Amino acid sequence: MATYSIKEAKAAPSSSKGIFFWLKENLFPDVKNSLLTLVGMYFVYLTIPPLLNWMIFDATWSGTQAEIVKEGARWIFIIEKFDQFMYGFYPEALHWRPNLVLFITFAFLASFKLVSNLKVKIAFMLLYPVVCFLLISGGWFGLETVETEKWGGLMLTLVVAAVGIIASFPLGIVLALGRQSDMPIVKTLCVGFIEFIRGVPLITILFMASVVLPLFFSDGIDFDKLLRALIGITLFQAAYIAEVVRGGLQAIPKGQYEAAKSLGLGYWQGMILIILPQALKISIPNLVGSFISLFKDTTLVLIIGLFDILAMVTLTNSDTSWLGYEIEGYVFVTLIYWVICFSMSQYSKAVERKFNTEH
Amino acid sequence: MKLTKIALLCGLAALVPNLANADTLSEVIKKGTLNCGVSTGIPGFSATDSKGVWKGIDVDFCRAVASAVLGDGSKVKYIPLTAKERFTALQSGEIDVLARSSTWTATRDTSLGLNFAGVNYYDGQGFLISKKLGVSSAKELDGATFCIQAGTTSELNLTDYFKANKMEYKAVTYDTSGQTIDGFKKGRCDAVTSDASQLYGLKLKMDDPKSVMVLPEIISKEPLGPVVRQGDDTWFNIVKWTMYATLEAEELGVNAANVDKMLKSDNPSVKRLLGVSGKAGENLGLNADWAYQIVKNVGNYGESFDKHVGKDSPLNISRGLNNLWNNGGLMYSMPVR
């Protein structure tokens, strides 16, 4: 009887491993691809080294304006104006309040995974915006009031985006359900609202909110400008969320609705327990997509004289002692936007993975 | 039919803008702060420094009004406004006075329900040229190439000026003001044209500010001044005379440093201005020391000009038309008597 001994696996031949193999396989497999690689490398050589030189190696990181000798970016401008970019005109002594809110936000996002009790989760969700608002605006528990005129910079951008996202989400779901409703009045109202809002640009809504609305208020009612903008943005975003959620609702097979009914669940029970969890799950990529685009749309508030982080570039560049630093300002703001949007999309990927129940 | 008419009228009535009420002075005193509309960043006029404090000659005007009315130049709430919303903010009562380098024109003065209370800066369209052209007057610019922002009044003014002087120019047109300046920076053209007050800011943004210069010619009239709502003459008078008081103080040599000493001056004009004699303050509905407070808190017009746009600021704009009338400019205060 022949016995079989397991042979040791041979190492891959030296011609199919190592850096040279990888290079040949991926970058220089044939003449055409080799040429493309060379052109690409030349392009990288043309752009990346000068960019790095400008941003890092030749940049001025400290000192005063008079000491600038290098050709590169003058980051001292950003350092000098950093507080304004971050907090706007928020009083310096009170910067800890927005900082604390940021910390709470991260703690909130992190703890959300750990807590499993649904009631606690909902209580968290309802408490979070209230606590944040009270902390930033003050006027309670002996905290000094900070008027919204003083809010600005990245803080304002985040406030506008967060309020837009948090407030428009439930409103959008209600609108989506209303649009599918059998009740004609509800349906007409929802369809009318969604189509009207989607038919006008955000900039129009902001102008209406900031320029036209105040003319109709009676005297003495000082309706906060930021609040007006927030309401406009929330309504605008809700219409888009409604359409995204409707897409999710329509993707749910009819059998699911019937199954909910046959279990004896009423409309709201069926929706909350059966339909919406599935519909929202498939909508996650689109929802996050529209949240990211909302985050970028918030820059439009600069046309109604609110100083978000982008508007700060212009304002800080009007200081007669610091003229001509637009490029540094815009590059800095671009980086911040990229970091935040990229984090949002990564977070959404994680959420998608978490809810993935497919086998 | 009648019913439809009534319904229509009601609808219209609801649409008519709700102009804010007439007694701005007592409202400001009640609030304890002046709501002042400023720009979202114009160098030298209204902008913030590194600490986030508003500075500029328009900002100084806000502070002057607050000093006259409330006796404290710091009691101002600055409301930054874009060019599009500035007049509505005033009409709706969101702000009490607008100091946002707004050009005084007939249309704005007559059709918006607003009144211009004076001129705090005589601006006009000027030329920024590179020195290598070797010219010292706009009259020598025949054949020069201009970077122009398409569709602006600056473009129309330029065409008119060149036609009137029987000269020609070549145009390189851009969409935004940023691109226009960039074109000039990169040497695509010999000159750019814009409001003179802006040109000095642009000059500082050049890689080498010494390689360019602003020509002395001004080819259009852009009188910039504070604006108030129409129909509140008491308030209009206060804002108007605040402007005059800063000019009168400069003319009489009263400034922030010597104003306390000047209270003992024998000059009857100084006495009347500072409220030692006469009833100027009372007639305006203010305290007798209204002008004293302005000069004490903010300084006279010349001090404010030098500090923010003139010789003590990086902009270094010469007084020119903004000098006092007895120094060859247009700034002229009605006598405080």
Is residue B5 pLDDT above 60, yes or no?
no
Please give the DSSP secondary-structure letter assigned to residue A89.
T
Phi, psi angle pair for A170, to nearest 5°: -60, -40
pLDDT for residue A122: 83
Q: Do A324 and B204 count as a contact with CB atoms less than 8 A apart?
A: yes
Closest of B22, B80, B12 to residue B52, by C-alpha: B80
Query: What is residue A219's predicted lDDT score, i.e. its pLDDT?
Result: 56
Alpha-carbon gap, residue B112 to B92, rounded angstroms: 12
pLDDT in tens, B176-225: 777 788 888 888 999 998 888 888 888 888 878 888 999 988 899 999 99
Give the residue-averaged pLDDT of B124-131.
91
Q: Is the pLDDT of residue A2 over 90?
A: no
Residues on chain A touching B315 (C-beta within 8 angstroms): 320
> Which pLDDT does position B14 carry in this prediction?
43
For strand B222-229 and strand B54-55, is the pairing parallel, antiparallel, or unpaired?
Answer: unpaired
Q: Are B189 and B146 in contact (CB under 8 A)?
A: yes
Identify whether the C-beta of residue B62 lies closer than 8 Å to the C-beta of residue B76.
yes
CA distance B292 to B64: 10
What pLDDT digit, counting tens, does each position of A37-91 carry?
999 999 999 999 999 999 888 888 888 887 777 788 899 999 999 999 999 999 8
H helix intervals, A138-179: 153-179
**pLDDT tens-digit series, residues A96-118:** 999 999 999 888 888 777 777 77
Q: Which of B48, B58, B75 has the highest number of chain A CBs within 10 A, making it the mutation to test binding with A?
A: B48
- Segment A229-257 shows an average pLDDT of 93
Contact B80 A305 (CB under 8 A): yes
Task: Give the CA diameter of chain A.
Answer: 106
- The CA distance from A81 to B275, in Å, is 42
What is the pLDDT at residue B44? 93
Q: Tell if the CB–CB gap between B52 and A210 is shorter than 8 Å.
A: no
Reduced to 3 states (helix: H, G, I; strand: E, B; else coil), residue A13 is coil
Chain A neighbors of B205, CB-CB under 8 A? 323-324
User: At which residue do the structure tokens 């440093």 appear?
Assistant: B257
The CATH code of the domain at A82-90+146-355 is 1.10.3720.10
- Is residue B191 within 8 A of residue B129, CB to CB? The reply is yes
pLDDT at A145: 85
- Whether the per-residue pLDDT at B21 is higher than 80: the answer is no
Q: Quick one: angle between helices A153-179 and A118-137, nearest 10?
A: 140
Asked if A278 and A255 touch (Cβ cutoff 8 Å), the reply is: no
pLDDT at residue B11 in the model: 43
Q: Could you give the maximum distance between any two Cα atoms of chain B, in Å?
A: 75
Beta-carbon separation of A219 and B50 below 8 A? no
Q: Is the pLDDT of residue B8 over 80?
A: no
What is the topology classification, in CATH, of domain B125-214? Answer: D-Maltodextrin-Binding Protein; domain 2 (3.40.190)
Asked whether the beta carbons of residue A214 and residue B14 sit closer than 8 angstroms, the reply is no
What is the pLDDT at residue A11?
79
Query: Among residues of chain B, what percentage have pLDDT more than 70?
Result: 93
pLDDT in tens, B39-53: 988 899 999 998 889
pLDDT digits (tens, 9 = 90+) for A255-306: 999 999 999 999 999 998 999 999 998 998 899 999 999 999 999 998 888 8
Residue pLDDT, tens place only, B225-253: 999 999 999 999 999 999 999 999 999 99
Residues of chain A with C-beta less than 8 angstroms from the C-beta of B305 = none
Token match 């005084």: residue? Answer: B104
B17-123+222-327 and B125-214: same fold?
yes
Report field, pTM of the whole predicted structure over 0.90:
no
Judge: B92–A307 Cβ closer than 8 Å, yes or no. Answer: no
- Pull the structure tokens for residue B243: 């402007």
CA dihedral angle for residue A226, residue A231, residue A235, residue A241, rounded to 10 degrees: 70
CB A300 within 8 A of CB A287: no
Domains of chain A, residue spans: 20-57, 82-90+146-355
Task: pLDDT band for A220, please (50, 70, 90 cuts).
Answer: low
B93 interfaces chain A, CB cutoff of 8 Å: yes
Domain locations in chain B? 17-123+222-327, 125-214
Q: What class does CATH assign to B17-123+222-327?
A: alpha beta
